[in-house]
Amino acid sequence: MPACRRGSNLYNAFDTWLTRQFAIEYGALFDGILPTLDRLALPIPLGGTSNHFRVPALKWLMASDPFNVTEDADLGIRLARKGYRCRVLASTTFEEAPTHFMSWLRQRTRWMKGYMQTWLVHMRAPRALWRELGPQDFLAFQITVGGTLLSALVHPWFYALAAYDLANSTFLAQPTSLFGLPFWLIASLSLATGYFASMALGLFALRLRGGYRLIAQVPLMPLYWLLISAAPYRALWQFATKRFTWEKTEHGLARSMAPPR
């Protein structure tokens, strides 16, 4: 039963606005989302710097893809397909967040490109994936891997459409037809609950780790999400032109060495 550590957090969280948002994002992932997947016994797309495996075991399982640039996420799904369960441990690894936008964007592009590779590779035979994972884990894979990509790609288009509606004084206007009303209600509810739940998860993660100095950054999370949306489009271009290029993340640039707590 492989395991990943519960919390990966940043020792330079206060360096820049990017690192502050990164710290909230990491807290939400490693203290909220991954433990929830663990409790529900769902496949965990591994992540971070403290995953340890025996190489002969991975070779025996044929569970390592040397061409995937986000190999940890792919590995978590491969282990689930073989019937193994990954657990989250109550341990923390502090690491360095990229402090400059281009360094951050290159890292995020690699992650998104790896998610594309992971989704496409495992969906080459969807029936086999369904059979090996089962309906519940299959759906979880679509949400955690495919949903991460889709939401990042779609998010900026929501703002574009919202700006168009604002310019025409039709933003959040109720539809005139009875047929369109249910869709409008569902869309409005999804918008409100999606933003609220994401920010609430960020607050939960900060309270859990005592990162109260970062609470003021929570309302700015949607701006950070817009930056994230640049990465999958860059990843799409790389996927078509240089699929296996691994853009190394610069380290050793941190201005501080103190974790949020």
| Contact (CB, 8 A) for 206 and 214 | yes
Q: Considering the domain boundaries, does residue 257 fall inside one?
A: no
Q: Who has greater pLDDT, 235 or 89?
A: 235
Handedness of CA 160, 165, 171, 175 (dihedral sign): negative
If one counts the domains in the chain, the total is: 1
98 belongs to a structural domain? yes
Answer whether residue 133 is part of any domain. Answer: yes
Interatomic CA distance for residues 50 and 91, integer angstroms: 10
In angstroms, the CA 81 to CA 131 distance is 9
CA distance 70 to 182: 39
Find, among 150, 148, 153, the residue nearest to 28 by Cα. 148
Give the tens place of pLDDT for each residue, 146-166: 999 999 999 999 889 888 888
- pLDDT per position as a tens digit, 96-112: 889 899 999 999 999 99
Domain that holds residue 213: 3-241
> pTM of the full predicted structure?
0.87
Q: Whose structure tokens read 């496409």?
A: 120
User: Is 219 part of a structural domain of the chain?
Assistant: yes
* Cα separation, 76 vs 216, whole angstroms: 34
The gap between the terminal CA atoms of the chain, to the nearest Å, is: 31
Amino acid at 209: R
Q: Is residue 23 part of a domain?
A: yes
Dist. CA 79–CA 81, nearest whole Å: 5
At 37, list the tokens: 């997947």
- What's the mean pLDDT when you consider all of the chain? 86
246: in domain: no
Whether 6 shows a pLDDT value over 60: the answer reads no
pLDDT digits (tens, 9 = 90+) for 16-32: 999 999 999 999 998 89
pLDDT greater than 80 at residue 252:
no
Please give the full DSSP string across the chain, using - where no structure is assigned. Answer: --EEEEEEEETTTTSSHHHHHHHHHHHHIIIIIHHHHHHTT------SS-----HHHHHHHT---TT-TTHHHHHHHHHHHTT---EEEEEEEEEPPP-SHHHHHHHHHHHHHHHHHHHHHHTTSHHHHHHHHHHHHHHHHIIIIIHHHHHHHHHHHHHHHHHHHHHTT-TTPPPSSTTTHHHHHHHHHHHHHHHHHHHHHHHHHHHHHT-GGGGGGGGGHHHHHHHHHHHHHHHHHHHHH-TT---PPP-S--S------
116 pLDDT above the threshold of 50: yes
pLDDT mean over 42-55: 78
Report if residue 141 sits inside a domain: yes
Residue at 183 is within a domain = yes
> What's the CA gap between 29 and 96, in Å, rounded?
16
136, two tokens: 């519940």
